[in-house]
Amino acid sequence: GAVVSQHPSRVICKSGTSVKIECRSLDFQATTMFWYRQFPKQSLMLMATSNEGSKATYEQGVEKDKFLINHASLTLSTLTVTSAHPEDSSFYICSARDMRVQGYTFGSGTRLTVV
């Protein structure tokens, strides 16, 4: 079945530094990938839609200069949290849709802690 690999699974960084999270579709090509943020005990909130070869589409209230998305190939999208602050600490999850299945496949998530 469709597999989406996300790493790192956990990262701790200092305030002011940048962190890159990778999301790869392992056995299928994904022209579109999605990035979500999830706060403790809450549901997933869509941050942006990553489009291969073009600019990402950001949801209202999400700073595009803060959360840089690059989708340079059909199997890889990256999310870079720039100048991270403690309030950016969260669980970030990516997903992609394999057209062979009805549904979306999610990565295992990245727990970001900014200290």
Phi-psi region of 41 (alpha: psi -120 to 50; beta: other; left: phi over 0): left
Asked whether position 54 contacts another protein by CB under 8 A, the answer is: no
Closest CB 16 distance from another protein, rounded Å:
26
Closest CB 30 distance from another protein, rounded Å:
11
CA distance 3 to 102: 14
Within residues 9-28, the interface with another protein by CB under 8 A covers 9
CA distance 87 to 39: 11
Closest CB 88 distance from another protein, rounded Å:
18
Q: Which residue carries 């999310």 as its tokens?
A: 79
List 6, 25, 77, 90, residue binding another protein (CB under 8 A) = 6
